[in-house]
A and B are shown apart, each in its own frame.
Chain A
Amino acid sequence: MISKKVANVQEALKGVTNNMTLMLGGFGLSGIPENAIAQLVKLNVKNLTCISNNAGVDDFGLGLLLQQKQIKKMISSYVGENDEFERQMLSGELEVELIPQGTLAERCRAAQSGFPAIYTPAGYGTEVAKGKETREFDGKMYVLEHAFKADFAFVKAWKGDEAGNLIFKGTARNFNPNMCGAAKITVAEVEELVPLGALNPNQIHIPGIFVQRIFQGNVYEKRIEQLTVRQKN
């Protein structure tokens, strides 16, 4: 067994410096790498390019990095629900590249899988395709989208083991598996780091080969963005 275990979040984020490109898993506030984000805030690294479907809310998720003006550029598909984000974007302090959600996922997966680029129909004929190569296949038009190049990928899983194997829970899975192995170094944080052999090999979502560092997060707030419930009658 090749061990990927590191002692704590400090060790997990060793080597993160200014000007890096980071991938961060999560959809809304679900399945975000809370502990890695808290450590990025502590490190106060600046000028970051962040690839993440969303940008958090004002006081949680990537919103915490925005508060400290650590982010130079966001690459996302949807960025509502964040006043500080809006302020920085409108004032020109923050560069924002909006791309289709499926394209975001696939550019991660291309990086993970060794594809330099992929063709997608999403965005053809819109401003998203401006300046990009397009090509016709069987009478339909597609846009060439390049694999991301990132320094670190920060992902969050439910359970993991020392070998770096990961299992996700519910829709907190989202972009996390697609970002594993899509950057030079993948750091996985888990709610539960279980003993080797405790995970059933048939049920592993991401094999440890895609993960360089794994640690158990100290706390998970798991904030709910839109609480919707029905009443028992």
Chain B
Amino acid sequence: MLDKIGIAKRIAKEVKDGYYVNLGIGIPTLVANYVRNDIAVEFQSENGVLGMGPFPFEGEQDADIINAGKQTITTLPGASFFDSAMSFSMIRGKHVDLTILGAMEVAQNGDIANWKIPGKMVKGMGGAMDLVASAENIIVAMMHTNKAGESKLLKKCTLPLTGVGCVKKIVTNLAVIEVTEKGFKLLERAPGVSVEFIKKATQGHLIINGNIPEMTLE
């Protein structure tokens, strides 16, 4: 079974040379730490920066340079700043190659819910609806089950949707799953996790074809 860092490490393997990548808040943010350093990748933050670097050294922070999580950041050589409309032109216009974000629920048809729990304080969708409606390549990073032990991979989402039929791949603490027309297709198992265990933790239709390999993180 993976922890959050394990999930980030596994997703990092999906980041390919030449990719422009948008990372959501939470586990997705950690992915940047584990991308191979022999490939060229640029991280986009939807508030208006491409070519994000690490956090600044103490005392070198600049209130005018932040990421979408409102955290102070730095930029790398080759970086650029732009306005919000242009930022979402990059996203809706499919210029960003990969979007990695978290979710509360994913359905077997690729629907995603990650912005609102009825009855609780709603903070808003931010850029999530634009991202999921447009990106061709969306990977969801999340735990397979919620704190109550209930599956987050469902036949149908119960929470208000963020987008419909958009998720292509899910990496959880238990498995790597591809969203296909026929349902969740199990691609890889987390180290030490059995197919049976994943099946039990998945409420939606799980497709198991042949031997399912254990994932590698390096």
A interface residue numbers (CB < 8 A to B)? 27-31, 53, 76-80, 86, 89-90, 98-106, 108-109, 120-128, 158, 168-178, 205, 222-232
Query: Does B84 contact A227, Cβ atoms closer than 8 Å?
Result: no
- For the complex of A and B, 10 pairs with smallest distance between CB atoms: A102-B88, A102-B130, A125-B164, A170-B64, A80-B123, A105-B84, A222-B63, A78-B124, A100-B129, A121-B133
Closest residue of chain A to B67, judged by CB?
A: A171
**A197 smallest CB distance to B (angstroms):** 24
**A224 partner residues in chain B, CB cutoff 8 A:** 61, 63, 66, 72
- Total number of residue pairs linking A and B with CB closer than 8 Å: 180
**B65 partner residues in chain A, CB cutoff 8 A:** 170-171
B interface residue numbers (CB < 8 A to A)? 45-49, 54-67, 69-73, 81-85, 87-88, 91-92, 111, 121-130, 133-134, 160-165
Query: Does A173 contact B83, Cβ atoms closer than 8 Å?
Result: yes
With A27-B47, A171-B66, A172-B64 as given contacts, are A80 and B124 in contact (CB-CB < 8 Å)?
yes
Query: Does B121 contact A86, Cβ atoms closer than 8 Å?
Result: yes
Query: Does A106 contact B88, Cβ atoms closer than 8 Å?
Result: yes
Query: Does B58 contact A229, Cβ atoms closer than 8 Å?
Result: yes
Query: Does A170 contact B62, Cβ atoms closer than 8 Å?
Result: yes
Closest residue of chain B to A112, judged by CB?
A: B85
Closest residue of chain B to A128, judged by CB?
A: B129
Query: Does A126 contact B129, Cβ atoms closer than 8 Å?
Result: yes
Closest residue of chain A to B69, judged by CB?
A: A226
**A168 partner residues in chain B, CB cutoff 8 A:** 81, 83
Closest residue of chain A to B160, judged by CB?
A: A127
Query: Does A170 contact B81, Cβ atoms closer than 8 Å?
Result: yes
Query: Does A171 contact B64, Cβ atoms closer than 8 Å?
Result: yes
Report the Cα distance A201→B127, complex, angstroms: 32
Report the Cα distance A29→B46, complex, angstroms: 15
| Interface pairs (18), CB distance under 8 Å | A27-B47, A102-B46, A109-B85, A123-B129, A125-B111, A126-B160, A126-B164, A127-B160, A171-B67, A171-B81, A178-B84, A226-B69, A226-B70, A227-B61, A227-B71, A228-B55, A229-B59, A232-B58
**B125 partner residues in chain A, CB cutoff 8 A:** 77-78, 98-101, 128
**A124 partner residues in chain B, CB cutoff 8 A:** 133, 163-164
With A102-B92, A171-B65, A226-B72 as given contacts, are A121 and B134 in contact (CB-CB < 8 Å)?
yes
Report the Cα distance A231→B57, complex, angstroms: 6
Closest residue of chain B to A177, judged by CB?
A: B83
Query: Does B126 contact A126, Cβ atoms closer than 8 Å?
Result: no
**B64 partner residues in chain A, CB cutoff 8 A:** 30-31, 158, 169-172, 222
Report the Cα distance A105→B215, complex, angstroms: 40
Query: Does A28 contact B61, Cβ atoms closer than 8 Å?
Result: no
Closest residue of chain A to B45, judged by CB?
A: A171
Query: Does B124 contact A98, Cβ atoms closer than 8 Å?
Result: yes
Query: Does B73 contact A98, Cβ atoms closer than 8 Å?
Result: no
Closest residue of chain A to B56, judged by CB?
A: A229
Query: Does A171 contact B49, Cβ atoms closer than 8 Å?
Result: yes
**B9 smallest CB distance to A (angstroms):** 20
Report the Cα distance A99→B129, complex, angstroms: 9
Report the Cα distance A50→B88, complex, angstroms: 21
Select which of A104, A122, A170 is within 8 A of B92 by beta carbon. A122
Query: Does B84 contact A53, Cβ atoms closer than 8 Å?
Result: yes
**B88 partner residues in chain A, CB cutoff 8 A:** 101-102, 105-106
Query: Does B124 contact A77, Cβ atoms closer than 8 Å?
Result: yes
**B168 smallest CB distance to A (angstroms):** 16
With A78-B126, A102-B91, A121-B133 as given contacts, are A171 and B48 in contact (CB-CB < 8 Å)?
yes
